[in-house]
Structure 1
């Protein structure tokens, strides 16, 4: 779904440094036997066309070998709870339109496509769809 050249260019050390600089604020991790197997990041919504009542799930990732084990569902649920605690009434996120596995998870958690899509350059254009829900 995303070009190998984009993924190959990701730098774990740079990502770790960015997380340290942000002091891992608004970030959740899933661990199994002391090993991080997934994470979720949430924040105020960055989309200018949505109201201030929206929070955003910026990222949700679970290692491929751990997908289907409930980690994504738990991370999503906790991220939504944290957004509620911060005073948001609604939540949104962008998902790769071809990622049916992720879309199924989000739809099971009450999200629905709001009809907004955009192309994002990841060393090749990737179509993203926006999903929303009330908290």
Structure 2
């Protein structure tokens, strides 16, 4: 991912939230998501590619159609030896086309290659489609659950884990 990709990645992320989290998060929150504000946040946090967070984009015919971010597992403010998939979004019009699978496969490959023993991710408990996707890729819920507060509404997230092969 390049700095110039932040606008398109923000568009994919915002539209991904609006599509995937309909009926899971409060609709007013989804309605007020801003592509420009998200892009600005992305640009402000964008690194030079040498830090611990890796941003990947998937392209088809020269157009960015998906984005994933991964890095060390976050346990509060501490980082552990494990890896974490922070985000994975595909343009909603391209769901089911293998883009998400390719991004996940590459994220797992990079983290395994960096020597991380496991990869974790958090997913909304009610997001059945995403949970099936991660389970098909070898991730399993490990019993950890956290509340995710969205405008005063508690939306539980569950943690998934997968052992990585060196």
Same-fold call, TM cutoff 0.5: yes
Q: TM-score, normalised by structure 1?
A: 0.88
Structure 1's unaligned 5+ residue stretches are none
User: Counterpart in 2 of 1:131?
Assistant: 160
Q: TM-score, normalised by structure 2?
A: 0.73
- CA-CA distance at 1:51 after TM superposition: 7.8
Q: In structure 2, what is the Cα distance between the partners aligned to 1:82 and 1:16?
A: 25
- Aligned partner (choices 140, 154, 157) of residue 112 of structure 1: 140
Please say which of residues 90-99 and 59-68 is displaced more in the overlay: 59-68
- Aligned partner (choices 23, 35, 47) of residue 23 of structure 1: 47
Q: SS in structure 1 opposite 2:59?
A: strand
Q: In structure 2, what is the Cα distance between the partners aligned to 1:18 and 1:80?
A: 25
User: Counterpart in 1 of 2:63?
Assistant: 35
- Aligned partner (choices 82, 87, 93) of residue 121 of structure 2: 93
RMSD (Å) for aligned C-alpha atoms: 1.9
Q: SS in structure 2 opposite 1:2?
A: coil
Aligned residues: 134
Q: In structure 1, what is the Cα distance between the partners aligned to 2:155 and 2:48?
A: 27
1:2-81 equivalences in 2 (<5 Å): 2-21=25-44, 22-23=46-47, 25=49, 26-48=54-76, 52-81=80-109
User: Structure with the greater relative contact order (CA < 8 A, sep ≥ 6): 1 or 2?
Assistant: 1
Q: In structure 1, what is the Cα distance between the partners aligned to 2:37 and 2:79?
A: 32
- Alpha carbons of structure 1 residues 110 and 35: separation in structure 2 relative to 1, 3 Å: same
- CA-CA distance at 1:24 after TM superposition: 7.1
- Alpha carbons of structure 1 residues 29 and 96: separation in structure 2 relative to 1, 3 Å: same
Structure 2's unaligned 5+ residue stretches are 1-23
- Alpha carbons of structure 1 residues 23 and 15: separation in structure 2 relative to 1, 3 Å: farther
- CA-CA distance at 1:20 after TM superposition: 2.2
Higher helix share: 2
